[in-house]
Each structure stands twice: as C-alpha cells, then as structure tokens.
C-alpha cells in the first residue's frame, strides 16, 4: 500500500522543515555524533523490525543519510530524537559515526504529536500500531476523528475503521499485530457481534487460510444465523461450533457432537465397538 505524504501537521509544528523536498539550505543541519544521541522518552513506537533496519542500513552505506533526523537537547545534555529513530538505528548498524540532524526546540506536547504523526506514515506500521497512534492523538490532544484525519493526511473513514480495531478481543488484536490476519480480515471479524464469535472467526481464518472475501462470507453467515434465531425463537447451530465438530471428526475418524450450554457444554464422541474405542483413546492420549 502506497503511503500518502505527511500531512500538514508536521509543517505546522516545524514550519521551516519540509519533509517532502530535499532542502537546498544546509543552515541548521549539523553532523552530530551518534553516541551523543538517544531515543526520545516520548517515542510512541516500541518495536522496530530488524530486517527493515538492516535494509535501511544497507541503503545508508550506499547512499548516506538522505534526510536529516530531528533532535532536541535533553536534560542530560544528550540529544533526544524527535523524528528519525529508524535512521539513527540504521546508521549505527551501518557503522557510521555521525548523522545529519536538525536541532529544534519544541514543547513535549509538540514532540509527542510529531513522533505520532511520523510513525503513522511508516511503511511497516501494522494496523494495530496505526490504530493506537490515532487513539493516542485523539486522547492526548483532544482531537476529533475529522481533526486526526486532516492532521495526518488520511480520510475520516480510514481513521474510524482503524480505531474500531481497538474494540477487538486481545487475541484477535495479537493476530493482527503479528500479521496472521490482515486489516480486511479484521473488518470482517468486527461484523460479528460477540467477542467469543470474533475469536472463533479469527481462528477459522488463520487455520483455514481464508481470503478476506471468504472471511466476509463466514461473517455474513454467522450474522444471518443469529438473525434467524431471533426471528424464529429457535437456537441455530453456531457456524463456528460446526466447524470445530468437523475438525474433531477428521482428527478422530468418528462422529463428534458439541453441545454448548451456557458458558460450558458437553463433547459427545461416538464409537461403534471396543476396538473403535481403543483406537480413539490412543489418538487422544498419544
């Protein structure tokens, strides 16, 4: 997915620093020793992809650091990174001793906002990280979804859809964070109302390797079954329970019936002879 250029938020915070065009003027850009620079305490990003850092390091060895990082003098007389921690890490890996940097004095609030906006535009940001960044922008700076969208150069619907991810169960969020499911899968999962069904659909998507379109079909079927149950007053078989039954039947080679009841239920495994029972026992206990 191609990222749009940084939104107007960066230029509002640092008006004389254009991130979209290479500056002709070198005033204000200094070559600072890497050892005198440290990550900023307000950096919202905690995880960095080692492979991506290594690739960036290769590029820096070949071409140098094209875009300066932005730093501020910290209380301990070391420069703190406001913008560009990936370039700083990659420069270390590339064996450089210095890095081009622009020193700025901005408030801690502006620093956090700048770091959040920069992170949102990282190519390798996963949907959960992007959602968390939008949420933090909204919470820390009392911004509406419309204001967030304007500041980061996105449309409001995209911001709203990402924020909805924060309502998913932790297990589903973890799958999305790990890349086991995609943003499209997550939207299909959100169409299912209960957390239990959302977790079940996530498991089906991962186990079966469903495409987004297939996941949407599963989600639609689950919603239709729930709607039919309300209309008729009869409890429909849960599509996820049926899928689990089929998996267990394939594993055990016999009929399996799951009978949910409240928060628990029963598992009924059929056998047709003592030898069959022994076979099933051996499968379960091995």
Residues belonging to the active site: 85
Is 206 within a domain? yes
Q: Does 191 share its domain with 117?
A: no
pLDDT-derived band at 257, boundaries 50, 70, 90 = confident
| 177-200 confidence digits (pLDDT tens) | 989 999 999 999 999 888 888 988
Same domain, 269 and 219: no
Indicate whether 26 and 76 sit together in one domain: yes
Q: Give yes or no for residue 274 having a pLDDT over 70.
A: yes
Whichever domain contains 186, its CATH number is 1.10.10.2830
Q: Sort 269 into a burial class: Cβ within 10 Å, 0-12 / 13-18 / 19+.
A: middle
- Residue 8: what pLDDT? 38
DSSP string, 55-108: HHHHHHHHH---S-EEEEE-TTSSEEEEE-HHHHHHHHHTT-SEEEEEE----H
51 by Cβ neighbours in 10 Å (0-12 / 13-18 / 19+) ranks as exposed
250 domain-assigned: yes
Q: Per the domain annotation, does 150 fall within a domain?
A: no
Give the burial class of 75: count Cβ atoms within 10 A of its Cβ; 0-12 exposed, 13-18 middle, 19 or more buried.
exposed
Give the pLDDT confidence score for residue 226 in this predicted structure. Answer: 57
- Classify residue 120: in a domain, yes or no: yes
On whether both 44 and 89 belong to a single domain, the answer is yes
Instruction: Out of 232, 257, 276, pick the residue that ends a domain.
Output: 232
pLDDT score of 169 more than 50: yes
Number of structural domains (the chain) is: 3
In a domain, 130, yes or no: no
181 and 106 within one domain: no
> Which one of 108, 125, 142 terminates a domain?
125
Which one has a higher pLDDT value, 86 or 19?
A: 86
Cα separation of the two ends of the chain: 46
Residue 31, phi then psi, degrees to nearest 5:
-90, 105
**Is 149 inside a domain boundary?**
no
Q: Which of 59, 94, 125 is the last residue of a domain?
A: 125
Alpha-carbon distance of 211 to 273, in angstroms, equals 41
Please check whether residues 117 and 200 belong to one and the same domain: no
What residue numbers bound the domain in which 45 lies? 8-125
Query: Of residues 219 and 94, which shows the higher confidence score?
Result: 94
Report which of 53, 122, 113, 115 is spatially closest to residue 87, judged by C-alpha positions.
53
């Amino acid at each position: 997915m191609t990222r749009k250029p940084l939104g107007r938020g960066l230029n509002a915070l640092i008006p004389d620093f254009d991130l979209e065009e290479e500056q002709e003027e070198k005033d204000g850009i200094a070559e600072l020793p890497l050892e005198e620079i440290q990550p900023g305490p307000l950096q919202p990003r905690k995880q960095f992809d080692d492979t991506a850092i290594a690739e960036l390091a290769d590029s820096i060895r070949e071409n140098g650091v094209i875009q300066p990082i932005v730093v501020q003098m910290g209380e301990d007389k070391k420069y703190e990174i406001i913008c560009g921690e990936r370039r700083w890490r990659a420069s270390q890996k590339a064996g450089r001793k210095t890095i081009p940097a622009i020193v700025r004095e901005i408030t801690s609030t502006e620093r956090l906002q700048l770091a959040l906006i920069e992170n949102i535009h990282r190519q390798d940001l996963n949907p959960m990280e992007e959602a968390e960044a939008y949420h933090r922008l909204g919470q820390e700076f009392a911004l509406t979804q419309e204001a967030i969208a304007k500041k980061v150069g996105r449309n409001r619907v995209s911001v709203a859809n990402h924020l909805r991810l924060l309502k998913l169960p932790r297990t589903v969020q973890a799958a999305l964070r790990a890349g086991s499911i995609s943003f499209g899968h997550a939207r299909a999962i959100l169409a299912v109302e209960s957390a239990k069904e959302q977790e079940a659909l996530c498991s089906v998507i991962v186990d079966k390797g469903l495409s987004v379109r297939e996941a949407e079909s599963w989600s639609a079927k689950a919603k239709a079954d729930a709607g039919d149950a309300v209309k008729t007053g009869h409890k429909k078989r849960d599509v996820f329970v049926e899928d689990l039954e089929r998996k267990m039947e394939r594993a055990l080679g016999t009929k399996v019936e799951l009978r949910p009841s409240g928060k628990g239920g029963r598992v009924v495994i059929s056998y047709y002879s003592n030898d069959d029972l022994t076979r099933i026992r051996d499968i379960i206990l091995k």
